[in-house]
Amino acid sequence: MTLINENYKNLSDNYLFAEIARRVEAFRQHNPQANVISLGIGDVTQPLAPVVVEALHRAADEMAFASSFRGYGPERGYDFLREAIVENDFRARGIDIEVDEVFVSDGAKSDTGNFQEMLSAGCVVAVTDPVYPVYVDSNLMAGRTIVRLPCTTENDFLPELPDEHVDVIYLCYPNNPTGTVLLRDDLKAWVDYAIREGALILYDAAYEAFIQSEDVPHSIYEIAGARRCAVEFHSYSKTAGFTGVRCGYTVVPKDLCVGLNPLWNRRQCTKFNGTSYLAQRAAGAIYTPDGKRQVRQVIHYYMENARLMRQTLSSLGFKVYGGVDAPYLWMQVPEGTTSWGFFDDMLHRAHVVCTPGAGFGSCGEGYVRLTAFGRREQTLEALERIKRM
């Protein structure tokens, strides 16, 4: 008889985006003439940078000839990309990361979801609430106990250090969904905690490229001691519009107090056959001078959306968090309504879609997430409609 992993029964129905789609579809059925604008999507809307497209074309042409064809690549990624990552994302910031500590992947979702496989089932795992659901679900599938660290207006969305021992801590900064950040001292407190407790920090830096403020760390390795206690995940998805191309990377330092670098290598060699050559060439192009400039322009475009959204929504009296160093805004809904209630209200009255905060954890109740990834004209139109609402 085939038995299933009973832990899957502990997963809640992943209904957030399905439920949003269902409600939007029902609304459209009744209002076929309505032009619904989404400020809820987590996907990007701007095309790939020209250097990236050129790199993809060149790589495709190489595949057309036996002399330059590439098949399976190195599991950890091609050296040209790992060297560019080390040089630009770390050495340029004074951080020492070695090339064989970098593992190129098809994105941060796979890596943040898979990394827990190497940890014992008995590990106690801490996550923030609200949270990017992948950290929770992947650990529930493995049967682990999860401790939630509330992030609310009371603590300025800064999770407090757990008052019990935890073995693993997921931190995501700049944060999805709240758009808030940790300053250097805040992050140092976590690194000190992890070293004291022998805990591992799994640091998701998927939105690091959106940081504008000087005092916000781009990498946890800017903090002394982090090489002994932290793994860091990166993604090109939002940074460079790679949601459809698929590429990211994970840094697993060799001086972690537990020897995870060889274990992650072993895991990847067993279960992952590498990121496509085309995607890696595309990612490599981002590190050229033109690439850096073009990618910065797109980030600037989204952050200008975020600024306009913050400005308008604050002037309407909404309490808005995030959106300064992150493409997400976390908005408190008016008293007396719920995050789903506000979602319905905004859909029906303004024809604008947001993401109910309750979908990211119980502390998300009372908030909605808005994203700055829309097209400018649609974002402005959505703001006009909210004004009239």
By CB under 6 A, name the binding residues for ligand PLP: 42, 107-109, 112, 132, 172, 176, 204, 206, 235, 237, 243, 248
CB 106 to ligand PLP: min, Å: 7
Q: Which is nearer to ligand PLP, 42 or 162 (CB)?
A: 42
- CB closer to ligand PLP, 312 vs 360: 360
Closer residue to ligand PLP, CB minimum distance, 367 or 383: 367
Query: Which residue lies nearer to ligand PLP by CB, 75 or 232?
Result: 232
Phi/psi of residue 102, each to 5°? -105, 130
Shortest Cβ 177–ligand PLP spacing (Å): 8
| Closest distance to ligand PLP from the beta carbon of 264 (Å) | 17
Residue 43 Cβ vs ligand PLP, minimum distance, rounded to whole Å: 8
Residue closer to ligand PLP, measured from CB, 108 or 182: 108
C-beta of 234 vs 351, nearer to ligand PLP? 234
Decide whether 242 or 343 has the Cβ nearer to ligand PLP: 242
Spell out the residues 6+ positions from residue 90 whose beta carbon is closer than 8 angstroms to its own: 96, 97, 219, 221, 251
Which helix (H) or strand (E) segment holds residue 80: the answer is helix 79-85
Is residue 210 left, alpha or beta, with left meaning phi > 0 and alpha meaning psi from -120 to 50?
A: alpha
Minimum CB distance to ligand PLP smaller for 176 or for 339: 176
Concatenate the DSSP letters of all residues of 4-72 into one string.
Answer: P-GGGGGSPP--HHHHHHHHHHHHHHH-TT---EES---S--SPPPHHHHHHHHHHHHHTTSTTT---S
Q: What are the φ and ψ backbone dihedral angles of 150, each rounded to 5 degrees?
A: -65, 135
Q: Which two tokens stand for residue 375?
A: 């097209």
Shortest CB 250 distance to ligand PLP, Å: 10
Q: Phi and psi of 98, rounded to 5°?
A: -95, 155
CB of residue 368 to ligand PLP, shortest distance in Å: 16
Task: Report the amino acid identity of residue 182.
Answer: L
Least Å distance, CB 176 to ligand PLP, is 4
Question: SS3 for 141?
Answer: helix
The tally of CA atoms less than 13 A away on the side-chain side of residue 180 is 22
Residue whose C-beta lies closest to ligand PLP = 107
Residue 134 CB, shortest distance to ligand PLP, in Å, is 7
Residue nearer to ligand PLP on the CB measure, 239 or 312: 239
Strands of the chain, DSSP E: 37-38, 102-105, 124-129, 145-150, 168-172, 200-204, 230-235, 248-251, 320-322, 328-332, 352-353, 355-356, 367-371
DSSP-based helix, strand, coil % in the chain, nearest 5:
45, 15, 40
Number of neighbours of residue 96 by Cβ within 10 angstroms:
11
Q: Name the residue among 266, 283, 267, 285 with its Cα closest to residue 275.
A: 283
Report yes or no: 313 and 67 within 8 Å, Cβ to Cβ. no
User: Tokens 């999507």 sit at which residue?
Assistant: 41
Least distance (Å) from ligand PLP to the CB of residue 237? 3
